[in-house]
Amino acid sequence: MNTKRKFRGNECITNIKEKQIEAKVKSIISTVLERCKKEHDSSTLQVPLDEYVQRASYYTAFPKNYICALEDEERNLLVKTEGLSIKQIIGNLECISKFLYNRTLPTYSLIYKTLKNSIDMPEFNIYKREMYLMGYHYKKTNNGPLLVEDPKFSFERFHYLSRIKKLRSKDANICYIDVRIINEKQAFERLTNLKDSSDENNDQFIFLHSISKNGYINGLCTNNICEENFTKWIIDILLPNLNPATTIVVDKTLFEIISPCKSISRYDSKYEMIEWLRSNSIPYYYEMEKPELYDLISNSKIKPKCKLEQIIKAFGHNMLCLPLKLNKLTPIDLLWGHIIKLNIRKENENSLLSIKQYIVNYIKDLSPTMFDTFTKTVEQWENEIYQYDRSIEKLIDQQYKFDTTYIEDEYMPQYFYGEED
């Protein structure tokens, strides 16, 4: 690496430490290169593809037991973590804003220690991983390395918050939809993959439901769910019962698993290309050849729309996706947090059917005042996040200039970070 990487906030890493890290990285890359070349020269894989642990050990020259231990550590970490709560995210933004205002470089450890004094926090390594997954990384600036969020996440958040704030200012109809798992554990986890839940399972219920600030709208309980059934619930049950021009707020993961409309590729027929251009009101000549038609398609910059979004718009409604890592910023999440605190198991003698019925009836009978309280709490959080984002953006622009010539890996290896970074 030609450019030295520093990741200690206010503390300067010595040249010796940097050279040690650089030597480690070079050693690993050199080993991988040498063994890839060996495979190339022999035209044979040295380790079978299905032996992925052995392959990782072979390429990196790390012992197999180390690779296994690392895999177990990553797996356990992924199981434990459920993402930061909205309060933790807001606290995180508040800390960064205050550090920047006081001209103090924020670091993982500084933010974590500050938050731990006022908010329940996960273990430090889990917190650091969540920050990493939220797009935080160190970026080189004129005033040293700055821990900063990837703008693609903050920009996405800006567009969502701007739109939802505008809708609230007009007192527009807003509906939230969610899919939860009801089982004996009573964790009521959010279902994020319809494809993994298509087989019937008598040990759980899948609860599709929708709410607004005025209360419960409707829902459906089933032992199995798939994309087709989910779409049917949307079309046959949800959409006909909504107020006119309702904006439906949906988790981004649900949005992404509903099959998008087919995009056009170079392999499609001339007829399919013409149909696509016609449906998107793009002028063309029938005498055009396929390469010319495809140029019109690729230059149009029109992205394939999601089937779910098209269905919702056909009913006169709109769809709004929650930003990545902010799927808890909904009244529904507060509703389920409230339900988890109830002693349902004791009330219903461990019967899954009675637990399901109790929950559905409880939500139906919950007073509109509670739903309004949940909504106002979310609205307050939205405003706080929006204000902290604007503050951080302004302070960074005033104090720092990023080195755009400095090329960084999108995902930094773990050994670049110190224990307290």
Structure confidence at residue 86 (pLDDT):
94
pLDDT above 90 (res 28):
no
pLDDT band at 104 (very low <50, low <70, confident <90, very high): very high
Structure confidence at residue 255 (pLDDT):
63
pLDDT above 70 (res 3):
no
Checking 200-208 for CB contacts under 8 A at 24+ apart, the result is 200/224, 203/352, 204/352, 205/181, 205/352, 205/356, 206/179, 206/180, 206/181, 206/182, 207/179, 207/180, 207/181, 207/182, 207/356, 207/359, 207/360, 208/177, 208/178, 208/179, 208/233
Interval 389-409 mean pLDDT: 82
Token pair listed for 420: 């307290």
Task: Tell me which range, 16-25, 45-54, 182-191, 376-385, is most confidently predicted by mean pLDDT.
Answer: 376-385
Which residue is listed with tokens 């990782």? 56
pLDDT band at 365 (very low <50, low <70, confident <90, very high): very high
Q: Show me where the domains of the chain are located.
A: 15-78, 81-171+376-421, 173-260+306-366, 270-300
CA distance 123 to 76: 13
Task: Tell me which range, 164-173, 231-240, 343-352, is most confidently predicted by mean pLDDT.
Answer: 164-173
Structure confidence at residue 19 (pLDDT):
62
Higher pLDDT, 338 or 66: 338
pLDDT above 50 (res 414):
no
Count CA atoms closer than 13 A to 105's CA, side-chain side: 21
Cα→Cα distances 402→141, 155, 230, 266, 405, Å: 4, 17, 45, 39, 9
Structure confidence at residue 176 (pLDDT):
96
Give every CB contact of residue 109 below 8 A, 6+ residues apart in sequence: 9, 124, 420, 421
pLDDT above 80 (res 245):
yes
| % of residues, the chain, pLDDT over 70 | 79
Which DSSP helix (H) or strand (E) runs through 180? Answer: strand 174-183
Higher pLDDT, 364 or 41: 364
Structure confidence at residue 259 (pLDDT):
53
Burial (CB count <10 Å: 0-12, 13-18, 19+), residue 2: exposed
The neighbour count for residue 222, using CB atoms within 10 Å, is 16
Cβ 325 vs Cβ 136: under 8 Å? no
pLDDT above 90 (res 231):
no
Burial 296-311 (b: 16+ CB within 10 A, else e): bbeeeebeeebbbbeb
pLDDT band at 81 (very low <50, low <70, confident <90, very high): low
Largest CA distance in the chain: 73
Higher pLDDT, 258 or 285: 285
Structure confidence at residue 144 (pLDDT):
82
pLDDT band at 66 (very low <50, low <70, confident <90, very high): confident
Cα→Cα distances 305→29, 162, 270, Å: 41, 22, 21
pLDDT above 90 (res 270):
no
Structure confidence at residue 126 (pLDDT):
87
pLDDT band at 72 (very low <50, low <70, confident <90, very high): low
pLDDT above 60 (res 418):
no
Structure confidence at residue 13 (pLDDT):
45
Structure confidence at residue 9 (pLDDT):
45
Structure confidence at residue 413 (pLDDT):
38
CATH code at 173-260+306-366: 3.30.420.10
Structure confidence at residue 228 (pLDDT):
80
Question: Which DSSP state fits 260?
Answer: B
Q: What's the mean pLDDT when you consider all of the chain?
A: 81
Cα→Cα distances 235→195, 225, 310, 312, 398, Å: 19, 15, 11, 8, 49
- Residue 135 identity (one-letter amino acid): G
Token pair listed for 409: 């890996």
pLDDT above 90 (res 412):
no
Interval 242-247 mean pLDDT: 94
Q: Find the range with the poorest average confidence among 67-81, 147-161, 197-211, 333-347.
A: 67-81
The neighbour count for residue 225, using CB atoms within 10 Å, is 25
Structure confidence at residue 74 (pLDDT):
56
